[in-house]
Amino acid sequence: MEGEVYYPSQDSIAKSYVQDWEALAESARKDLQGFWAERADELFWFKKWDKVLDDSQKPFFKWFTGAKVNIAYNCVDVHLQTYRKNKLALIWESEDGKSDRTFSYYSLNREVCRMANIIKAMGVEKGDRVTIYMGRIPEIMFAMLACAKIGAIHSVVFGGFSVDALHERISDSESKLIITCDGSLQNGKLVELKRIVDESLRHCPTVENVIVVKRTGHEVPMEAGRDHWFHDLCALPIANGKCTTEVMDAEDPLFILYTSGSTGKPKAILHTHGGYMVGTYTTLKYVFDINDEDRFWCTADPGWITGHSYLVYGPLLTGATIFMFEGGPAFPYPNRWWQLIERFGVSVFYTAPTAIRALMRFGEAWPNKHDLSSLRLLGSVGEPINPEAWKWFHRVIGKERCPIMDTWWQTETGMFMITPTPVVPLKPGSGTRPFFGQEAEILDEQGNPVADDHEGYLVLKNPWPAMMRTLYKDPDRYVETYWKKYPGKYMTGDSARRDKDGYFWIIGRVDDVIKVSGHRLGTAEIESALITHPAVAESAAIGLPHEVKGQAIYCFVHLKPGFAPTEDLSEELRQHVARHLGPIARPEEVNFIDKLPKTRSGKIMRRVLKARAQGLPEGDLSTLEE
Ligand code: PRX
């Protein structure tokens, strides 16, 4: 093999579910449906499927049609009938370290049922949407599972988003109910989630009720008739710990999750009960070799797809013990995560390159202070991992014992698509090859495959069970965005190259999406926030390379007459974006510009701004307006 290669140890191979990667890949290549049917057979179905894959209306693929199932039943109820009943399902630690809470599968079931009964009592029925906007606390998991259990569609909005982003997601989903908490903690600071909800709800006529979980205990306004404290509801007779699971069609929606694309309006990615369940279960099991002794820690927030698939659903489907931490990596000290791995005996640790890069900067002494010998496997997701960070993670955290699973996937794919398993030789910075049953290609503008080691558009060739089914309320945009450029192939929006060993190397997004610390944001959303400021006539946002964040947001603003380009105004505009869209979207810099480079048809040429900002050649300027 070419380049720097890390071969798996005999121990990794011996413990792996998939000892012969090539053989399983070959069997999935020959019989895609057979491969997935066999995996699906490991889960519980009220009624089995008539057909594994229905591609008669592609690109609206359907999986396990005719089957009856509920993902929540597979996450919780099935384990109650086994020795797992008293096994820990969830260990949670608060940011300040003053409290930890643990839930066995038995008590998880009681919590989920209680929440489900409360949601039902609020008039929520099968197919209704429920927006969940909370910090990283156990109740967010209970709320998601409770919705799934009764057949409601959850729409989780990341707690780091603010008023405008939340408002748009609530009103687009036409949610009946909001589940939130009074506040959350971020590096010791209070984020007033309930107040953000109140502001967001000003023009959301569909919302009938708001359930508020008490987390921080600070004073919050409660609107009579609409807002209810969760603990008060729990005291009522309706809130008992038993609730029947709704029998769903495999293709019934499980959740929508808004993600950023090329326009200002976020896309509501829709996932279903059956296929999503089979996809997340199988990938987590094979890629992280999850077994009963594992304590699995995924540092993602439930507000992103990684949190949905691999903090909540995947690990529960495999019957693992989940570790969930409310806080971030370096508060109060840069050893917080390492201390938690030691204290709770975490065996599989899945995080993002941006966090690794940030923690690297504090030096090795912090992790070296801790016994990390419980770790067996590491994982990375969200953005390309630079080889330097990969090697540090491997050497300093994994002690050269733990392979790193660099998993490439998207909100849209629902599950890992390009990823190693523990028996695959690794190259730092590459997600290796597509998962079983998948084939990827690198194409040029015209749709021809490019030569090895050349950059092009990354596409996926085969359907997979956890694929999004559509964009909620916008099927045309689904076809247009993902299936139009190369008919019959799924357009990922990423550029990549493949090396001579067939390994894929992701380069980055080719559209107007920026990955800031692994968080997905759209340039258009940032521009929409800027334009609501009275001084802004026009603006453009771009992503530029950043040492820790991967990419950072830079904005160019053309001011309205009468406004002077001052430092203070620049700072005010940065704050403005943070207040409207969320602190994660705060621009690194806001610069003032007399004229934005545009095409003759009036489209902003972000590519030109990007090149200029980096001192690179500006490329073809023939379409630039005079
Ligand atoms: O550009 C790719 C990058 O994240 C994008 C998807 O973002 P999102 O939908 O928020 O999902 C993130 C978590 C699954 C992709 O189009 N990306 C994700 N994982 C990787 C990655 N880039 C390189 N390597 C990865 N492992």
Instruction: Write out 34-75 in H/E/C secondary structure.
Output: HHHHHHHCCCCCCECCCEEEECCCCCCCEEEECCEECHHHHH
The fraction of the chain above a pLDDT of 90, given in percent, is 94
Task: For residue 508, report the distance from its CA to the centre of ligand 1, in Å.
Answer: 9
Residue of 180, 134, 132 lying closest to 155 (CA atoms)? 132
For residues 282-306, average pLDDT: 97
- Is the shortest distance between the CB of 519 and ligand 1 below 6 Å? no
Task: Tell whether the model's pLDDT for residue 564 goes beyond 70.
Answer: yes
- Is the shortest distance between the CB of 411 and ligand 1 below 6 Å? yes
- What's the confidence (pLDDT) of residue 596? 93
Grade residue 264 by pLDDT with cuts at 50, 70 and 90.
confident
- What's the confidence (pLDDT) of residue 455? 97
Task: For residue 278, report the distance from its CA to the centre of ligand 1, in Å.
Answer: 21
- What's the confidence (pLDDT) of residue 558? 96
Closest-CA residue, ligand 1 atom 22, reads 383
- Is the shortest distance between the CB of 458 and ligand 1 below 6 Å? no
- What's the confidence (pLDDT) of residue 422? 97
Residue of 360, 479, 465, 361 lying closest to 413 (CA atoms)? 465
For residues 351-355, average pLDDT: 97
Distance CA 91, CA 280 (A): 21
Residue 150 dihedral angles phi and psi, to the nearest 5°: -95, 5
Closest-CA residue, ligand 1 atom 5, reads 410
Distance CA 599, CA 625 (A): 5
Say which residue, 204 or 454, is predicted with more confidence. 454
- Is the shortest distance between the CB of 383 and ligand 1 below 6 Å? yes
Task: Tell whether the model's pLDDT for residue 626 goes beyond 80.
Answer: no
Query: 625: Cβ–Cβ under 8 A, 6 or more apart, which residues?
Result: 598, 599, 600, 602
Residue 56 dihedral angles phi and psi, to the nearest 5°: -70, -20
Q: How far is CA 337 from the centre of its chain?
A: 20
For residues 521-549, average pLDDT: 95
- Take residue 164 and report the two structure tokens written for it: 């405008």
What pLDDT digit, counting tens, does each position of 354-388 carry? 999 999 999 999 999 999 999 999 999 999 999 99
- Is the shortest distance between the CB of 158 and ligand 1 below 6 Å? no
- Is the shortest distance between the CB of 306 and ligand 1 below 6 Å? yes
Task: Tell whether the model's pLDDT for residue 621 goes beyond 90.
Answer: no
Task: Tell whether the model's pLDDT for residue 262 goes beyond 70.
Answer: yes
Closest-CA residue, ligand 1 atom 10, reads 520
- Is the shortest distance between the CB of 354 and ligand 1 below 6 Å? no
- What's the confidence (pLDDT) of residue 622? 82
Task: For residue 119, report the distance from its CA to the centre of ligand 1, in Å.
Answer: 33
For residues 237-263, average pLDDT: 95
Taking all residues of the chain, what is their mean pLDDT, rounded to a whole number? Answer: 96
- Is the shortest distance between the CB of 93 and ligand 1 below 6 Å? no
Q: Are 580 and 532 in contact (CB under 8 A)?
A: yes
- What's the confidence (pLDDT) of residue 601? 87
**Global pTM value:** 0.97
For residues 199-217, average pLDDT: 95
What pLDDT digit, counting tens, does each position of 93-118 carry? 999 999 899 999 999 999 999 999 99
- Is the shortest distance between the CB of 431 and ligand 1 below 6 Å? yes
Closest-CA residue, ligand 1 atom 11, reads 410
Matching residue, tokens 């990423």 = 494
- What's the confidence (pLDDT) of residue 57? 97
The fraction of the chain above a pLDDT of 70, given in percent, is 100
